[in-house]
Each structure stands twice: as structure tokens, then as C-alpha cells.
Amino acid sequence: MPKVSIVVPIYNVEKYLEQCLDSIINQTLKDIEIILVDDGSPDNCPQMCDDYAKKDSRIKVVHKKNGGLSSARNAGIEVAIGDYIGFIDSDDYIELDMYEKMYNIARESNVDFVMSDYYRVSDEGKIKATLDMNEGIYDKKKIKKDIFPTLIMGDDINYGRLLSVWNCLYKRELLYQNNLMFDEEVKYSEDNLFSSIIGYKANSFYYMKGSYLYNYRYNPNSISKTYKPDAWSVYLKMNNKLKDLFLGVEDYNFRNQLNAHIIYYAFNCINHVGNSDKSFSYKYKEIKRILNTKELKDGFKNFKAGNISTKLKISIWMLKHKFIINYMIIKGYIK
């Protein structure tokens, strides 16, 4: 049984795949399995996966119909047999000692997962990304004290510390015992839902502050930053799933975080439609449709703001009271 299973969802990343896979097969931790999930990629990626598998016996290739990132990750989880599971996005790459360092800490600390810092990579170079929290072990008491207050979303309408899965290494037993998979209905921002559940279920984790082990390729044109007509319905679905999971728990009150969460994604969707190439009429109607959503109205009504800027307070007030044209003018959505 390998020490670590590394799941790599692959779709239309021919340009970056070689760098990604080379950084994995050359890990200093050799006792690994590498699960390449070809999610129906239309380019040369399927053949590249098969070619790599011929050269390295640790590689398993799963070819499947396109189902999205969550579906691909789940396909990898289903065949993984390692003691720990990591996820790498196929347009990114990792430091050669990433999994040796994370595995050793996971074993020595006997924690449910390990999280590292990372580099944000762009055409301008690499920038270090770290979190506002201390290095070390977080047991259940410390998780509840330090992580729960921003587990889903902070009252400043910003995400907390547990956000992405690709800079983490999870104990496979944690996923299997809790039946933790990626929700295939939530096809955007799927990490956020998964990480919130992991953060609530985990009894412990270790944060490797100052260890920049993952290279996240920042792309301003990625699916998370462009207008998608179905995004609001997906985010509503995610918010409702979070409500089902967290409103009924007895050990912490997550209600205001859920209000902040729906407001955050309303801003997200409104910003994307506002900056799109759609007509003024389309933008106005779409923003109005979002603001008329019952869940968002309830979120605005019940949200208790934390330390937020005056500018954000004004923006919330304008959207809450549907000053749509004024907001569009201020934000420059009317060209």
C-alpha cells in the first residue's frame, strides 16, 4: 500500500501537463501512487497520460466522460489506496519535496490533514502566499476556537483559512469514514464546500507555515473569474447545502457565516455580469434577478457585519435596497 495517493484531474491542459506530472513523478517521497483522471479532455492530454503510465508503474490512468472537476476528483478518490490523499490541479506544479515533508509531519503529528503555504505563479513571477495563523497542531478545541469563526465565511465577507484542497494532504481514513466526496452538483468553487466540511469533521490538522510547497498558477481568465450564466444557481445550491449541513449543529452557531456566504457570492456574480460584454438591459435584468432571490434577501436582512470598510457597507446597503443603476454607475458597469 503506497504512503500517498495523488489525484490529478485533467482537462484541456496540454500546455501545462508535462511540468505538472514531472513535478509529481520526481517527488523525493517515492512510495506514492499517481492517479491521472482524464475527464474527457479534447486535446492531447489522454495520450500524454497513457505515455506517462508506460514510463512509471506508479501511475494509474482513469479515462472518463467529462463531468467536471468534482467528478474527476471523486473518480480518483474511488480508486485511491494510499494512507493519505492529495489533490493537484493539472495546470499547477509542486515542489519536489512537498509530499515527503507533508507525509512526515502527518505521521509524526498523527493529524487528520496537513496544510502548507504556496506560491502564486503568474507571468510576472512567483509570490508567496501565507495565512494569518500560527504554525503547528490544531486540535479539536483549537479548531473550534480559531477556525470555526470563519469556517464558512467571516463576518467581514472574506473567506477564512481553510479554502483550497490542493495545498493539503488528507488522511484517507478521514474521507472514507465520513463518506466525504466532492459534490458534483456544485461545479464552481467546489473546494469551498469540501473544505468547510473537512474543517468541521476533522479532529486535528497541522499548518506548515512558511513551507511554500505548491505552485498555484494564477489565471485571471479562469472559470472562477469570468461570467457564467448558471453561476448564481450553482452558488445558491452550495449555500443551501451548507445550510443543511451547518444550521442544525449544536456545537457552534454558523448562521451569520451563511448570511455572509450568500452575500459574498451575490457580489461575485454581480461583478462578473457587470464586467461582461452583455448589454445594459441584460446586466440590469440579471442583477435584479439575483437581488430578488429569497435566500439573498434573507441574508441581507439578517447579516451582522463585522469589521468591514465604509465602501463595502455602502455597497451592501445599495444592493439590499436595489439601487441597481446607481450601483452599476459607481462600479463602471455602464460603458
- Tens of pLDDT along the chain (335 residues) come to 899 999 999 999 999 999 999 999 999 999 999 999 999 999 999 999 999 999 999 999 999 999 999 999 999 999 999 999 999 999 999 999 999 999 999 999 999 999 999 999 988 899 999 998 999 999 999 999 999 999 999 999 988 888 899 999 999 999 999 999 999 998 888 899 999 999 999 999 999 999 999 999 986 555 445 788 999 999 999 999 999 999 989 999 999 999 999 999 999 999 999 999 999 999 999 999 999 999 999 999 999 998 899 999 999 999 999 999 999 999 999 87
Residue type, 257: Q
- Confidence at residue 220, expressed as pLDDT on a 0 to 100 scale: 56
| pLDDT at residue 196, as a whole number | 95
By the 8 A CB rule, do 169 and 106 touch? yes
Single-letter amino acid, residue 63: H
- Give the domains, in start order, of the chain with CATH numbers: 4-217 (3.90.550.10), 231-331 (no CATH)
DSSP 8-state class, residue 143: I
As beta bridge partners, residue 121 has: 126, 217
Q: What letter would DSSP give residue 64?
A: E
d(CA 49, CA 157): 40
Please count the other Cβ atoms lying within 10 Å of the Cβ belonging to residue 318: 16
Q: What are phi and psi of 39, to 5 degrees?
A: -90, 55
The number of angstroms, rounded, from the C-alpha of 261 to the middle of its chain's C-alpha atoms is: 14
Question: Which residue, among 115, 88, 114, has the nearest Cα to 33 in the 3D structure?
Answer: 88
Q: What is the 3-state composition of the chain as percent helix, strand, coil, each rounded to the nearest 5? A: 45, 20, 35
Quote the CA–CA distance of 62 and 40 in Å, as a whole number.
10
C-alpha distances out from residue 85 to 4, 32, 258, 309, 330, Å: 6, 10, 29, 39, 46
Look at residues 201, 5, 203 and name the one whose alpha carbon lies nearest to residue 109: 203
pLDDT of residue 189: 86
Predicted pLDDT at 46: 97
Give the separation between CA 328 and CA 20, rounded to whole angstroms. Answer: 41
Which residue pairs, CB below 8 angstroms and at least 24 apart, start in 180-183? 181/74, 181/77, 182/69, 182/70, 182/71, 182/73, 182/74, 183/70, 183/238, 183/241
CA distances from 221 to 43, 89, 218, 227, 278 (A): 19, 16, 9, 10, 17
Residue 5 near residue 82, CB atoms below 8 Å: yes
pTM of the complete model = 0.92
Q: Is residue 98 exposed (0-12), middle (13-18) or buried (19+ Cβ within 10 Å)?
A: buried
Distance CA 123, CA 261 (A): 31
Give the contacts of 76 (CB within 8 A, at least 6 positions apart). 5, 7, 8, 9, 35, 37, 62, 87
Is 328:284 a contact under the CB 8 Å cutoff? yes
pLDDT of 237 reads: 95
Judge contact between 81 and 131, C-beta under 8 A. no
